[in-house]
């Protein structure tokens, strides 16, 4: 049977993701937005369906402003939320988006009780906790998309600096999806060669910082929104690994229960992604310095989650 993927939020990230998923023929796609915007998700879905003959895909794309068409989804991606508006504090945004993610999760968990949830809405690590508490899904079926995106940014910067194909560059970024994220040069390679063998510490430090500022750099240029091409590509890679049971090892935000010395928080770590969702947390030995940075990042996530209460 054809797989079904629901994408909630038909804005920049959601619509671009729906297009990528259809083009990858990973399954039929249901694109959902709020009733006040009735016609918008349907119009985008129709437009995507009409590009199928040219792009060579037969995936169905359905737009909706109710949840009935989402029933029985294998994967549900939540991109719903509002961007920060002038005069709005970080806490206000946190509470508004938490309310949105909670309401969306209630609907999708009821109609797709066996789905794997992938959260994209920001602030990411806190929104994952809201989705897990609301859905009551086991932790293997609630994942946050951040690490794949942050690593992809780092990969592109390394490729650019060394003048090599981005395809043979791998990078690892752990921690929360914010200023305290932890790029790990020791686990970042060009065809297996650690970048620490290929670049000066100064150059690596610059790349690490640009990675941490990756989201902000795009926002500054766009002026009217945040990144969506790379975020949607990162999410599509996660969906593919789950639906094809590829068991890719990717950095994702997952609920830690003692792994890496962190308990009761969503933090980005390397995980194996397959048909069951998160199938294993890959634990690597960190240096004292790397571990300290990861603990600092977890503390920042904890603070965010505490301000939700
Ligand atoms: N149910 C469904 N959709 C909703 C809801 C809701 N309760 N509330 C808001 N939305 C929709 C909006 O109507 C909008 O179409 O979510 C969409 C968000 O789209 P954009 O504003 O274009 O934002 P986008 O750039 O896609 O980012 C979405 O992903 O990367 C993160 O920080 C980003 O949290 C943000 C999210």
pLDDT tens-digit map of 170-219? 999 999 998 899 999 999 999 999 999 999 999 999 999 999 999 999 99
Are residues 158 and 75 both part of a single domain?
Answer: no
Q: How far apart are CA 55 and CA 51, in angstroms?
A: 6
Residue ending a domain, choose from 144, 171, 192: 144
Mutate-to-test residue for ligand 1 from 7, 8, 9, highest number of ligand atoms within 8 A of CB: 9
Contact 135, 115 (CB under 8 A): no
- The domain in which residue 134 lies consists of 4-144
Residues 174 and 114 in one domain: no
How far apart CA 150 and CA 254 sit, in angstroms, is 15
Location of structure tokens 């830690």: 256
Task: Enumerate the β-bridge partners of residue 277.
Answer: 274
Compute, in angstroms, the gap from residue 122 CA to the centroid of ligand 1: 9
Sequence-ordered list of residues with C-beta below 8 angstroms from that of 67, at least 6 positions apart, any chain: 32, 107, 108, 110, 111
Mutation test residue for ligand 1: of 70, 78, 80, 176, the one with most atoms within 8 Å of CB:
80
| For helices 124-135 and 288-306, angle between their N-to-C axes, nearest 10 degrees | 60
Lookup result for tokens 């890719």 = 248
Does the beta carbon of 226 lie inside 6 Å of ligand 1?
Answer: yes
Give the ligand 1 atom nearest the CA of 100. 7
17 CB less than 6 Å from ligand 1?
no
- Cα-to-centroid distance, 249 and ligand 1 (Å): 27
Q: How many CB atoms lie within 10 A of CB 290?
A: 19
With 0-12 / 13-18 / 19 or more C-beta atoms within 10 angstroms meaning exposed / middle / buried, residue 221 is: exposed
Q: Identify the domain boundary among 78, 109, 144.
A: 144
Q: Is the dihedral of CA 121, 146, 232, 273 positive or negative?
A: negative
Same domain, 170 and 118: no
172 C-alpha vs ligand 1 centroid, how far in Å?
Answer: 27
Of all protein residues, whose CA lies closest to atom 31 belonging to ligand 1?
Answer: 121
Residue 267 · residue 305 · CB < 8 Å:
no
Do residues 65 and 115 both lie within one domain? yes
Q: Say if residue 128 is in the same domain as residue 208.
A: no
Beta strands in the chain (DSSP E): 4-8, 28-32, 61-64, 75-78, 116-119, 142-144, 169-170, 173-174, 182-183, 189-190, 193-194, 248-257, 263-274, 277-281
What's the whole-model pTM score?
Answer: 0.97
On whether both 160 and 271 belong to a single domain, the answer is yes
**Is the CB–ligand 1 distance for residue 98 below 6 Å?**
no
For residue 1, the model assigns a pLDDT of: 72
The rounded distance, in Å, linking the Cα atoms of 133 and 77 is: 16
127 lines ligand 1 (CB under 6 A): no
151 and 260 both lie in a single domain:
yes
Distance 100 CA to ligand 1 centre (A): 9
CATH number at residue 12: 3.40.50.720
State which H helix or E strand residue 104 sits in: helix 90-111
Contact assessment for residue 211 and residue 150, using Cβ atoms and an 8 Å cutoff: yes
Predicted local distance difference test score (pLDDT) of residue 119:
98
Residues of the chain with pLDDT under 70: 90
Q: Tell me which residues are annotated as active site.
A: 177
45 and 69 housed in the same domain:
yes
Strand, coil or helix: 273: strand
> Is the Cβ atom of 99 under 6 angstroms away from ligand 1?
no
Residues 108 and 22 in one domain: yes
Nearest CA to ligand 1 atom 28: 79
Q: Write the residue with the smallest CA distance to atom 36 of ligand 1.
A: 121
Indicate which residue's Cα is closest to atom 18 of ligand 1: 11
Distance CA 76, CA 132 (A): 13
Q: What is the pLDDT of residue 73?
A: 98
- CATH number of the domain residue 281 falls in: 3.90.110.10
Indicate whether residue 216 lines ligand 1 (CB < 6 A). Answer: no
Quick check: 6 and 70 in contact, CB under 8 A? yes
Nearest CA to ligand 1 atom 34: 121
Tell me which of 129, 144, 159 is where a domain ends. Answer: 144
Clarify whether residues 126 and 190 are in a common domain. no
Of all protein residues, the one whose alpha carbon is nearest to atom 25 of ligand 1 is 12
**Number of structural domains in the chain:** 2
Q: Is the CB of 11 under 6 A from ligand 1?
A: yes
Whether 172 and 298 map to the same domain: the answer is yes
- Asked whether 81 lines ligand 1 (CB < 6 A), one says yes
Same domain? For 122 and 20 the reply is: yes
pLDDT at res. 4: 98
């Amino acid at each position: 049977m054809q797989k079904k993927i629901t994408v909630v939020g038909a804005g920049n990230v959601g619509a671009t993701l729906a297009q990528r998923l259809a083009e990858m023929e990973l399954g039929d796609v249901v694109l959902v937005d709020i009733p006040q915007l009735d016609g918008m998700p349907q119009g985008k879905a129709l437009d995507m369906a009409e590009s199928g003959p040219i792009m060579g895909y037969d995936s169905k794309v359905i737009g909706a402003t109710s949840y009935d068409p989402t029933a029985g989804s294998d994967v549900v991606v939540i991109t719903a939320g509002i961007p920060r508006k002038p005069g709005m504090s970080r806490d206000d945004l946190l509470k508004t988006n938490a309310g949105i993610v909670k309401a969306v999760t209630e609907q999708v968990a009821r109609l797709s009780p066996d789905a794997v949830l992938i959260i994209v809405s920001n602030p990411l690590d806190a929104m994952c906790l809201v989705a897990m508490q609301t859905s009551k899904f086991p932790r293997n079926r609630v994942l946050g998309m951040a690490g794949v995106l942050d690593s992809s940014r780092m990969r592109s910067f390394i490729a650019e600096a060394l003048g090599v194909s981005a395809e043979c560059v791998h990078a690892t970024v752990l921690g929360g999806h914010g200023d305290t994220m932890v790029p790990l040069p020791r686990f970042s390679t060009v065809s297996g060669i650690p970048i620490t063998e290929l670049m000066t510490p100064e150059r690596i430090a610059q790349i690490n910082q640009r990675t941490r500022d990756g989201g902000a750099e795009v926002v500054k240029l766009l002026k009217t929104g945040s990144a969506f091409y790379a975020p949607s590509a990162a999410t599509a890679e996660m969906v593919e690994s789950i639906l094809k049971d590829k068991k890719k090892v990717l950095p994702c935000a997952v609920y830690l229960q003692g792994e890496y010395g962190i308990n009761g928080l969503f933090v980005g770590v390397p995980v194996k992604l397959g048909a069951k969702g998160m199938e294993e947390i890959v634990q690597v030995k960190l240096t004292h310095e790397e571990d300290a940075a990861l603990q600092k990042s977890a503390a920042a996530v904890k603070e965010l989650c505490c301000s939700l209460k």
